[in-house]
Chains A and B, each alone.
Chain A
Amino acid sequence: MKPTADIEGLERALLEVVGYAVASARTLLDETRTYGPLRLLESAARTVDAMPNAGIGPAEIAELKTEIEASIGALFEDEASFRASVDGLIDSLLELD
């Protein structure tokens, strides 16, 4: 996918992700450890979300977003499901590169 539009929007969205990650680094000190993986995956989801509007990212971006969301869902089921889901997500990411 080639850059086509809305770089300003991309900058804004990425700045939001930076803010989210930094604020998470602070709030996580006082929160349950489960929220650590959650915040990281949410950061990933927000980054992926920002790509299509700027015309960047792989063609499989929608599938990637779906997989990330599935991993977030698995986090609240049980640890084994979550591990398996993230392992699959990592495989998918490697296939994109």
Chain B
Amino acid sequence: MSSADIGRLIEAAIWAPSGGNAQSWRFVVVQEERSIRRLRMVSPGLPGPPPCVIAVCQNGELAEQRGARLGREKLTLFDAAMAAQNIMLAAHAVGLGTCVVASFHAGGVKDVLKLPPGVEPVLLVAVGRPAEVPSPPSRRREGVVFDETYRGH
């Protein structure tokens, strides 16, 4: 992982949409082997070990200051997800692979990353060189997409 590549991913992340332009997200780029190992200990969903993990975090207090309750309760999640998506697309564009992870113990991740009170991890994005490109799960439109009005259940 070159620092230029990581810089591109972070640049993509901070240009993601942000509800009310709160930009209450915080990103922690983790590359040290011991830190990655410790993250994996508390994050069952984290594959690997990857050479890099980007923790997408949110400052809930800041989000509430800038976006009230909607900001803290919902926009923090939307913003983190959109930032993570940007990271993954930017990674794909430079030939990297990613895995976005929500299965982790938040307290453990906070300890490993030394997050201050009020800053919570929302998603972890593992980044690395893909050993293989797995075939994607199927997707369907029928019963999922509707014209004008919803039909069915």
Contact = CB atoms under 8 A, between A and B. Distances in A.
Query: Do they bind each other?
Result: yes
Contact of B41 (A20, A26, A42): A20
Contacts of B38: 19
State the majority secondary structure of interface residues on A.
helix
Interface string B115-129: 000000000000000
A96 interface: no
B51 interface: no
Contact of A42 (B44, B105, B108): B44
B37 A27 contact: no
B40 A16 contact: yes
Interface string A1-44: 00000000000100110111001101110010001000100100
Chain A interface size range:
10 to 19
Contact of B105 (A27, A35, A39): A27
B41 A15 contact: yes
A27 B40 contact: no
B25 interface: no
A20 B38 CA distance: 10
Given A19-B38, A27-B105, 20 more contacts: A12-B37, A15-B41, A16-B40, A18-B41, A19-B41, A19-B42, A20-B40, A20-B44, A23-B41, A23-B43, A23-B104, A23-B105, A23-B108, A24-B44, A27-B44, A27-B45, A27-B103, A35-B44, A39-B44, A42-B44
Q: Which 10 A-B pairs have the closest CB atoms?
A: A19-B41, A24-B44, A23-B105, A23-B42, A16-B41, A27-B103, A26-B105, A23-B44, A39-B44, A27-B44
28 contacts: A12-B37, A15-B41, A16-B40, A16-B41, A19-B38, A19-B41, A19-B42, A20-B40, A20-B41, A20-B44, A23-B42, A23-B43, A23-B44, A23-B104, A23-B105, A23-B108, A24-B44, A26-B105, A27-B44, A27-B45, A27-B103, A27-B104, A27-B105, A28-B44, A31-B103, A35-B44, A35-B103, A39-B44
Interface of A: 12, 15-16, 18-20, 23-24, 26-28, 31, 35, 39, 42
